[in-house]
């Protein structure tokens, strides 16, 4: 949608009669209660953005799916998230390989070569190694005697090590890329800070691409470089490889790490469900999808822009207007086809949830995320059936300040 003009910000927060994005939770595991009211009374409603401007908030399951599958809603603003943090007045054009910001047919050209590494079959083959990594982390936890911070000792190491091995990134560099992820995802980061973090990450991955061209390994980045070098029609230039590599590294560890920690905490708050998983580990497949649905950590949803006038759920959205798919709300909509969607029930399998998005951009790493979550949660619960919080619940720092929800730290003992 590169030619479409995005409506210039016109309103100012202080004088706008419009409400902002619903953000105030009354329960740390559930989205703001305001969403239920909106789904009922104003399923597609206007909201004001913090840096000026406005957009449409889409809260019902059916409308969210229709919107995300509709090519007239462009992704070119991708992670801009103007509904929660100011974005630069002029967003740069989507760059090659920036999957989250590309529309068809460009998007598929870059997605296809990477997709092969994330199929069910390929992820199945990674399971033994993921199990080994999880077991090593749990061994270290056990040796320490506790208490430990589950984010630092389990969630982050498991997901970072897996994506490092898969991509061919040195795990020794984890402080660098984990720190950059924090800067990229913080809501209070200025556009300049986000841009600086993106540049630094780009330089880091560009160095890796150059090194792997000289000395290829068995990893995904080396494979993609070799495929690109062997095919002169390949879209995978060094710039595209760098951007793809950056995306996979950040998306590949930060999301799943937050799901591991937040799922653990949620289960500690629901001891009956923790016990059900302990007594019957075969529930884990459905349980992980139920946790993904219930917690929906992409807490501010997904941003698109209309490239032409579109009627969605009976509302006219004009060309150039922003539209936000409120994933946490859609996943609590009874239209999802499950009983009592505000209840966590690890014995069900809500396969049709939208925690991984929907449509052409649906999460490319979802099979890997599921495998990591299933293995980590099962092993943790079996090994530490007496797991409990090591601090009072009100001292757990939630990530209300980040694009991806979760906890900053999770002190636990057993």
Binding site for ligand HEM (CB under 6 A): 75, 99-100, 111, 163, 247-248, 251-252, 255-256, 259, 297-298, 302, 355-357, 361, 363-365, 368-369
Q: Which two structure tokens, joined as six digits, stand for 69?
A: 């599958």
CA distance 333 to 403: 22
Q: Count each helix (H run) and each strand (E run) in the chain, helices first.
A: 14, 10
Shortest distance (Å) from residue 116 CB to ligand HEM: 13
Shortest distance (Å) from residue 370 CB to ligand HEM: 8
How many residues would you count in the chain?
Answer: 414
C-beta of 187 vs 391, nearer to ligand HEM: 187
> Residue 250 in contact with residue 201, Cβ under 8 Å?
yes
Shortest distance (Å) from residue 314 CB to ligand HEM: 23
C-beta of 65 vs 212, nearer to ligand HEM: 65
> Using omega within 30 degrees of 0 as the cis cutoff, is the peptide bond preceding 105 cis?
yes
C-beta of 368 vs 381, nearer to ligand HEM: 368
Shortest distance (Å) from residue 261 CB to ligand HEM: 11
Residue 134 CB neighbour total at 10 angstroms: 24
Task: Give residue for tokens 């029609």.
Answer: 233
C-beta of 22 vs 406, nearer to ligand HEM: 406
Shortest distance (Å) from residue 86 CB to ligand HEM: 20
> Residue 220 in contact with residue 208, Cβ under 8 Å?
no
C-beta of 244 vs 394, nearer to ligand HEM: 244
DSSP-assigned beta bridge partners for residue 241: none
C-beta of 123 vs 141, nearer to ligand HEM: 123
CA distance 213 to 403: 34
CA distance 278 to 269: 15
Shortest distance (Å) from residue 216 CB to ligand HEM: 20
């Amino acid at each position: 949608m590169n030619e479409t003009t995005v409506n210039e910000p016109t309103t100012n927060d202080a004088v706008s009669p419009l409400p902002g994005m619903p953000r105030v939770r009354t329960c740390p595991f559930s989205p703001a209660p305001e969403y239920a009211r909106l789904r009922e009374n104003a399923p597609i409603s206007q909201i004001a953005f913090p840096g000026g401007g406005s957009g449409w908030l889409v809260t019902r399951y059916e409308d969210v799916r229709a919107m995300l599958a509709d090519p007239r809603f462009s992704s070119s603003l991708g992670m801009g998230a103007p509904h929660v943090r100011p974005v630069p007045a002029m967003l740069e054009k989507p760059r090659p390989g920036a999957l989250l910001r590309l529309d068809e047919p460009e998007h598929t050209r870059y997605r296809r070569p990477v997709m092969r590494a994330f199929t069910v079959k390929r992820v199945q083959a990674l399971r033994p190694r993921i199990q080994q990594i999880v077991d090593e982390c749990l061994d270290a936890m056990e040796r320490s005697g506790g208490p430990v911070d589950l984010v630092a000792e389990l969630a982050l190491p498991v997901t970072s090590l897996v994506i490092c091995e898969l991509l061919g990134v040195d795990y020794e560099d984890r402080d660098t890329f984990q720190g950059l992820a924090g800067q990229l995802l913080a809501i209070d980061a200025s556009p300049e800070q986000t841009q600086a973090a993106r540049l630094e990450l780009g330089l880091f991955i560009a160095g890796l691409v150059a090194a792997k061209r000289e000395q290829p390994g068995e990893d995904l980045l080396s494979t993609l470089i070799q495929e690109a070098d062997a095919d002169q029609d390949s879209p995978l230039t060094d710039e595209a490889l760098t951007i793809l590599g950056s995306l996979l590294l950040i998306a590949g560890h930060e999301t799943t790490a937050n799901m591991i920690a937040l799922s653990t905490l949620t289960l500690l708050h629901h001891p009956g469900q923790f016990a059900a998983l302990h007594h019957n580990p075969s529930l884990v497949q459905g349980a992980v999808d139920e946790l993904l649905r219930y917690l929906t950590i992409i807490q501010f949803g997904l941003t698109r822009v209309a490239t032409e006038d579109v009627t969605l759920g009976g509302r006219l959205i004009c060309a150039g207007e922003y539209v936000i798919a409120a994933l946490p709300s859609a996943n609590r909509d009874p239209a999802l086809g499950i009983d009592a969607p505000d209840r966590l029930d690890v014995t069900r399998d809500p396969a049709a949830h939208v925690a991984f998005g929907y449509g052409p951009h649906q999460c490319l790493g979802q099979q890997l995320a599921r495998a990591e979550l299933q293995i980590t949660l099962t092993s943790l619960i079996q090994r530490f059936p007496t797991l409990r919080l090591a601090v009072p619940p009100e001292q757990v720092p939630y990530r209300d300040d980040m694009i991806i929800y979760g906890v900053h730290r999770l002190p636990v003992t057993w």
